[in-house]
Structure 1
Amino acid sequence: MALLEIENLVVEFDTAQGPFRAVDGVSLKVDEREVLAIVGESGSGKSVSMLAVMGLLPWTAKVRADRMSFAGTDLLKLDAAERRKIIGKDMAMIFQEPMASLNPSFTVGFQIEEVLRLHMHMDRHQRRERAIELLRLVGIPDPAERLNSYPHQMSGGQCQRVMIAMAIACNPKLLIADEPTTALDVTIQKQILDLLVSLQEKYGMALIMITHNMGVVAETADRVIVQYKGRKMEEADVLTLFENPKSNYTRALLSALPDNATGDRLPTVSDLIFEQAAPAVVTPPMEGPL
Structure 2
Amino acid sequence: MALLEIENLVVEFQTSAGMFRAVDGVSLKVDEREVLAIVGESGSGKSVSMLAVMGLLPWTAKVTADKMAFNGRDLLALSDSERRKIVGKDIAMIFQEPVASLNPCYTVGFQIEEVLRFHLGLGRRERRARAIELLTAVGIPSPAERLSSFPHQMSGGQCQRVMIAMAIACNPKLLIADEPTTALDVTIQKQILDLLVKLQAEHGMGMIMITHNMGVVAETADRVVVQYKGRKMEEADVLTLFENPRSNYTKALLAALPDNATGDRLPTIADYFKDGSEIAGAAVS
How do 1:8-27 residues align onto structure 2 when only pairs under 5 Å count?
8-27=8-27
Query: In structure 1, what residue type is equivalent to 2:49?
Result: S
Contact 2:181 2:192 survives alignment (8 Å)? yes
- Partner of 1:56, secondary structure, is coil
Quote the residue 1:247 is aligned against: 247
Quote the residue 1:284 is aligned against: none
Query: Kindly tell me: are residues 160 and 201 of structure 1, through their superposed partners in 2, closer, same or farther at Cα, counting changes over 3 Å?
Result: same
Q: Distance in 1 between matches of 2:279 and 2:73?
A: 36
Q: CA deviation at 1:14?
A: 0.4
Structure 1 stretches of at least 4 aligned residues deviating more than 6 Å after TM superposition: none
Q: Distance in 1 between matches of 2:197 and 2:32?
A: 14
Aligned length in residues: 278
- Partner of 2:93, secondary structure, is strand
Quote the residue 1:273 is aligned against: 279
Q: Distance in 2 between matches of 1:139 and 1:99?
A: 17
Q: Deviations over 1:69-102 (max 9, x none)?
A: 0001110110100000000000000000001000
Quote the residue 2:261 is aligned against: 261
Q: Which runs of 5+ in 1 are unaligned?
A: 279-290
Q: CA deviation at 1:267?
A: 1.8
Q: CA deviation at 1:256?
A: 0.1
Query: Kindly tell me: are residues 274 and 76 of structure 1, through their superposed partners in 2, closer, same or farther at Cα, counting changes over 3 Å?
Result: farther
Q: CA deviation at 1:264?
A: 3.2
Query: In structure 1, what residue type is equivalent to 2:51?
Result: L
**2:270 corresponds to 1:234:** no
Q: CA deviation at 1:274?
A: 4.7
Contact 1:75 1:83 survives alignment (8 Å)? yes
Contact 1:12 1:20 survives alignment (8 Å)? yes
Q: CA deviation at 1:269?
A: 1.9
Q: Distance in 2 between matches of 1:55 and 1:128?
A: 29
Q: Deviations over 1:160-181 (max 9, x none)?
A: 0000000000000000000000
Contact 1:233 1:275 survives alignment (8 Å)? no
- Partner of 1:60, secondary structure, is coil
Q: Deviations over 1:24-68 (max 9, x none)?
A: 000001000000000000000000000000000000000000000
Q: Distance in 2 between matches of 1:237 and 1:72?
A: 24
Quote the residue 1:192 is aligned against: 192
- Partner of 1:170, secondary structure, is coil
Q: CA deviation at 1:277?
A: 6.0
Q: CA deviation at 1:113?
A: 0.2
Q: Distance in 2 between matches of 1:10 and 1:275?
A: 21
How do 1:132-281 residues align onto structure 2 when only pairs under 5 Å count?
132-270=132-270, 272-276=278-282
Quote the residue 1:89 is aligned against: 89
Contact 2:232 2:283 survives alignment (8 Å)? no
Q: CA deviation at 1:262?
A: 1.7
Q: Deviations over 1:126-163 (max 9, x none)?
A: 00000000000000000000000000000000000000
Quote the residue 2:112 is aligned against: 112
Q: Distance in 1 between matches of 2:86 and 2:30?
A: 17
Q: Distance in 2 between matches of 1:208 and 1:49?
A: 11
Q: Distance in 1 between matches of 2:82 and 2:230?
A: 28
Contact 1:3 1:71 survives alignment (8 Å)? yes
- Partner of 2:170, secondary structure, is coil
Quote the residue 1:76 is aligned against: 76
Q: Distance in 2 between matches of 1:209 and 1:225?
A: 10
Query: Kindly tell me: are residues 25 and 147 of structure 1, through their superposed partners in 2, closer, same or farther at Cα, counting changes over 3 Å?
Result: same
Contact 1:37 1:225 survives alignment (8 Å)? yes
Q: CA deviation at 1:275?
A: 3.0
Please report the TM-score for the alignment, with normalisation by the length of structure 2.
0.96
Q: Distance in 1 between matches of 2:234 and 2:208?
A: 16
Q: Distance in 2 between matches of 1:135 and 1:273?
A: 45
Contact 1:134 1:169 survives alignment (8 Å)? yes
